[in-house]
Each structure stands twice: as C-alpha cells, then as structure tokens.
C-alpha cells in the first residue's frame, strides 16, 4: 500500500513532523513488533548483546563458584534486564523511530505501511491513530490544522 506523494500529502507530512518535534503529537510504540528484523529501526545488538553478557557472566560465575552462584547471577541479570535495561532500550527505539519518521516522506511511508506505532495527540490516549489501520492524513487534518505547527508549515 504505497502512499502517493502529492503536494497535499507532503504538506500534511511536514505539519506532522513539526508537531512531533514540538511535542504536540507523540508516538506510542509496540516494542515487540518494531524490535524485529523487518523493521528499519531495529538494532540487533540491542536485542542480543545484553542477553549474551548476562549468560556469559552467569556461566563464568557458575564455573568459578558453582551452579547455585551461576543461577543466582542469571536470575538477577534477567531481572535487571527486564526492569531497568528494557525500558532504556524502548526509549532508544522510540528515539530512532522518531528520527527515522522525521527524516523524509519515504521513510514515513515505509514505516506507516509496516505499522507498530500510533500517533497520539497531546500525550493523551483519547485521540490516536494507529499505523497502518488508521488514516494519518485525517488525523492531521482533524487535530493539527489549528495548531501552531500547522500554521508554521503552511507559512513556510
């Protein structure tokens, strides 16, 4: 489902980019959906390296101090990963997605067709548009045409 790049679509895209940069619209991501090899914003090292480090440290401790020490290290490592590192990785993925979406209309089109994120107006979950099911142009027309970002995009 390729998007047409006419002047109106490009203007709406520019309005949306300004709104994203100004914080009028935020992104809500599905981390598990976007964190895979099909996604252009996927970084395999962020998925693999932390777990390899946890397993390696656990194995070394198991060989040095015994199986109990290795298992304890693994459990502690996985808990640290789940509650401390994974939220950091989610923020990094969100930052990469935001940068990728704002880099050009083609990138926007590719990611919108892929899905895995939603546009959210003013940090509320009341007004949202989910990719690729929703109509992002309608979202921009209904929610951003009166915003300061839209006025700047039109005046430039």
Instruction: Evaluate if residue 76 carries a pLDDT over 50.
Output: yes
> Range with the lowest mean pLDDT among 64-68, 130-134, 151-155?
151-155
Q: What is the mean pLDDT of the chain?
A: 87
Instruction: Evaluate if residue 45 carries a pLDDT over 80.
Output: yes
Q: What is the DSSP letter of 125?
A: S
Residue 20: the pLDDT is: 92
Is the omega angle on the peptide bond into residue 132 within 30 degrees of 0, that is, cis? yes
By the 8 A CB rule, do 26 and 91 touch? no
Helix ranges (DSSP H) in 81-155: 86-102, 105-114, 136-143, 148-155
Backbone angles phi, psi at 27, to 5 degrees: -110, 135
Q: Tell me the DSSP string of 37-91.
A: TTSTT--HHHHHHHHHHHHHHHHHHHHHH-HHHHHHHHHHHHHHIIIIIHHHHHH
Determine the average pLDDT of the residues in 128-139.
90
Backbone angles phi, psi at 144, to 5 degrees: -120, -5
Please report, for residues 38, 45, 75, 128, 154, the alpha-carbon distance to residue 8 in angstroms, rounded to integers and kept in the order given: 29, 39, 53, 21, 11
Give the C-alpha separation, 146 to 152, whole Å. Answer: 11
Question: 32-43, pLDDT tens digit by residue?
Answer: 999 999 999 999
| pLDDT band, very low/low/confident/very high, at 1 (cuts 50, 70, 90) | very low
Locate 25 and state its tokens.
């619209």
Question: 3-21, pLDDT tens digit by residue?
Answer: 556 788 898 999 999 999 9
Residue 123: the pLDDT is: 58
């Amino acid at each position: 489902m390729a998007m047409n790049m006419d002047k109106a679509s490009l203007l709406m895209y520019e309005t949306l980019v300004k709104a994203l940069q100004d914080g009028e619209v935020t992104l809500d991501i599905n981390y598990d959906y976007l964190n895979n090899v099909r996604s252009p914003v996927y970084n395999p090292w962020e998925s693999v390296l932390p777990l390899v480090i946890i397993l390696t440290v656990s194995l070394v401790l198991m060989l040095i101090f015994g199986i109990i020490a290795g298992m304890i290290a693994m459990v502690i490592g996985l808990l640290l990963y789940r509650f401390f590192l994974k939220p950091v990785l989610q923020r990094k993925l969100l930052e990469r997605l935001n940068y990728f979406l704002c880099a050009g209309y083609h990138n926007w089109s590719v990611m919108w067709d892929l899905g895995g994120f939603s546009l959210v107006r003013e940090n509320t979950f009341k007004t949202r548009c989910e990719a690729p099911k929703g109509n992002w142009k309608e979202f921009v027309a209904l929610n951003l045409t009166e915003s300061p970002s839209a006025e700047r995009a039109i005046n430039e």
